[in-house]
Amino acid sequence: MQIANALFKPVTVGRYTLPNRIIMAPLTRCRSKQPGDIPWALNADYYQQRASAGLIIAEATQISPQGKGYAYTPGIYSAAQIQGWRLVTDAVHGAGGLIFLQLWHVGRISHPDLQPDGALPVAPSAIKAEGEAFTEQGFKPLVTPRALAPDEIPGIIGQYRTAASNALAAGFDGVEIHAANGYLLDQFLRDGSNHRTDAYGGCIENRARLLLEVIEAVVEVMGADKTGVRLSPINAFNSMSDSAPQQHFNYVAEQLNRFGLAYLHIVERMAAGADDDDFDFVALKNQFKGPYIANGGYDAASADAAIAAGRCDLVAFGKLFIANPDLVSRFKTGAALNTPDPDSFYGGTAQGYTDYPTLV
């Protein structure tokens, strides 16, 4: 019995027509080859197993050594990383799938142990987040970051531009700019973490400037119809806060219309973050004239209902895709789902990564 009709209506996302609306969310798994944070055959197997997703958004990937905040996450700045990603994109394409890369700079969510020459992590302002960084020597308290100087901003934008061009060289079908979950671009967007007094801080027009300039640079390389953006207006994860999320993120969503992007991807809720029941995601969606991907705690039934009701156009699934490589066919048939094992989410081997069973 097919339980999910709306999820299986084809949809145009930028340059592509997707056969279903079931998106694999970007998921940090900390399993790149060392040294060098290089994607390899194990990662290619994992993504190939999940190629029936309407679109895979590959895990957050640092755009530079400075953009790294967790041990063993992959990069997209070295020749070896580009070659490694080529294994992944070839495997997914061979299985008939589409795959975007998520471009990531963590900003203050890092540690000198993860930074070139033991440098301080950078951020819009020298404001420390609560929590710990995952280093090769275990968890270490986050540090107070160094505020980026105005003349460093073009270099940050350049890191995104180069990463987009590397993603093309690696065979990706597009990129998602990670402006969510308390990492660098989100640190600029929200006023709890951005206390700058230059053109990149203060009012929301200024706080959104870096994101909009990054999008412009990425779109020049990639094309707008192969570029998406991810935001998380109310996610408190990584010590994030904002004084007026509805007003500020409505503005950001509306500004995105100037580019003609492939999609807007919204983290509506996350297990670790405090929810804001007052936030109106439909109002946010209505600001943006393009496909809206919802993410956070959906199952087949709630995703189908949300699409049918026009509250979103597509839904991204994270934990369910970790545990169910054949999530699309399970949704189609209403089959039972495997249970994800949190102990093997981050780091490790094929166990808890490529060994979840499929139905057939």
Q: Name the DSSP letter for residue 197.
A: -
* 187: contact with ligand PHB by CB under 6 A: no
Which residues fall within 8 angstroms of residue 305, CB to CB, at 6 or more apart? 6
Instruction: Tell me: does residue 61 bind ligand PHB (CB under 6 A).
Output: no
What are the residues facing 147 on neighbouring strands?
A: 123
The nearest distance, CB 94 to ligand PHB, in angstroms, is: 27
Q: Return the exposure string of 202-219: e unless at least 16 CB atoms fall within 10 Å of the residue's CB, then b.
A: eebebbbbbbebbbebbb
Angstrom distances, CA of residue 18 to CA of 10, 115, 228: 5, 38, 15
Considering beta carbons, is residue 20 or 62 the nearer one to ligand PHB? 62
The pair of structure tokens assigned to 268 is 């509506």
Among candidates 99, 90, 80, which has minimal Cα distance to 35? Answer: 80
Among 181, 187, 193, 250, binds ligand PHB (CB under 6 A): 181
**Active site amino acids:** 183
Q: Does 70 bind ligand PHB (CB under 6 A)?
A: yes
Q: Is residue 60 near ligand PHB by the rule CB under 6 A?
A: yes
What gap in Å lies between CA 240 and CA 203, rounded to an integer?
17
Structural contact between residues 345 and 322, judged by C-beta atoms closer than 8 angstroms: yes
Q: How far is the CB of 186 from ligand PHB (least distance, A)?
A: 9
The dihedrals phi and psi of 201, each to the nearest 5 degrees, come to -145, 175
**Residue 207 structure tokens:** 């706080």
Minimum Å distance from CB 346 to ligand PHB? 7
Give the β-pairing of 55-62 and 99-104.
Answer: parallel
Nearer to ligand PHB, 70 or 288 (CB): 70
Residue 15, amino acid: R
Cα diameter, the chain: 59
| Shortest distance, position 215 Cβ to ligand PHB, whole Å | 18
Nearer to ligand PHB among residue 106 and residue 307 (C-beta): 106
With binding defined as CB under 6 A, does residue 110 bind ligand PHB?
no
- Residues 161-180, one symbol each (x = binds ligand PHB by CB under 6 A, - = not), give -------------------x
Closer residue to ligand PHB (CB): 60 or 88: 60
In the bound state with ligand PHB, the residue whose beta carbon lies nearer, of 132 and 198, is 132
The binding track of 12-51 with respect to ligand PHB, each residue x by CB under 6 A or -, is: ----------------x-----------------------
Least CB distance from residue 179 to ligand PHB, whole Å? 10
Applying CB under 6 A, the residues found at the interface with ligand PHB are 28, 60, 70, 180-181
